[in-house]
Amino acid sequence: MARPRKEDARDTRRLVLDAALDLFSTHGYYATSMRQIARAVGVRESALYHHFASKDAILAALLDTLGPGQARELLTLDIPAMAKKWGARKLLRTLMHRLLEAWATPQEHKIAKLMLAEGPRLSVDGVFSPVTRIFQAREMLGHLFTELIRLKLIRPVDPQAATIAFIGPLFMLRMIYLVMSPVPQLPKLKKEADAHFTLLWETLKKT
C-alpha cells in the first residue's frame, strides 16, 4: 500500500485538530476520547496515532498556535523594520487590531471556552498550565516593548509593566464582547480598545 502523501498527512492532521477543538470546547477535554475524535474526522482510531501520540499531544498542538501560543508570532517579526516603516504608534495599534481580529475567530472562542472551563484541572493534572502559557506570552510581548525602548521610539519604561498596561484591558474587553457575549461584538471591542490605546500611548510616547 502506498504511503500517504505529505499533503494528505497535513490535511488529516488539520482535520484532527479542528475536530478535537470542537469536541473539547463542546463536551470538555476529559469527556472527549480519541475514539470520538477519530469518528468526527472519519478515520480509524489507530490512524490518529500516526499524527499524535496522545490526546495530550493534540491539545499541545492546538495551544502552540491558539490562545497564548499566538504570541510566538511576535518573535518572528522584524520589529526594527516595521517600526521604521510605520512608527511605534502605528505598529502597536496595528498589532493590537490583529490580535483582536484573531480573538474574534471561532477557533479562539473555542480555546478560550476550554481554558476557562478546564484550565485549572488541566494544570493540576499536569496536562498543561494556562498560567505558565500566559506568562510565556507576556514575556514575548515584553520583547516588543524592549525593542521599541532600545530603538528609542517610546519612553524607557519597564517593558513588563508596559505589557500589562497594554494587554490587561484588552483581556477584559475580550471577555465582555467576545467570550461572554452571546454574539461576538468586534466593532464595539475595537472602538473601546482604540480608546484604551489612545490613553496608553500618552504614557508611552516620547515627549
**Residue-wise pLDDT tens digits, 145-201:** 999 999 999 999 999 999 999 999 999 999 999 999 989 999 999 999 999 999 999
Per the structure, how many domains does the chain have?
Answer: 2
pLDDT at residue 11 in the model: 85
The boundaries of the domain holding residue 22 are 1-61
pLDDT, mean of residues 119-145: 91
166 and 80 within one domain = yes
For the whole model, what pTM was predicted? 0.85
For 80-118, the pLDDT digits (tens) are 999 999 999 999 999 999 999 999 999 999 999 999 999
Distances (CA, A) of 35 to 20, 107, 114, 123: 11, 22, 20, 24
The band of 9, judged by pLDDT with boundaries at 50, 70 and 90, is low
Q: What is the pLDDT of residue 1?
A: 43
Average pLDDT for 126-131: 89
Confidence of residue 8 (pLDDT cuts 50, 70, 90): low
Are 98 and 200 contained in the same domain? yes
Residues 173 and 106 in one domain: yes
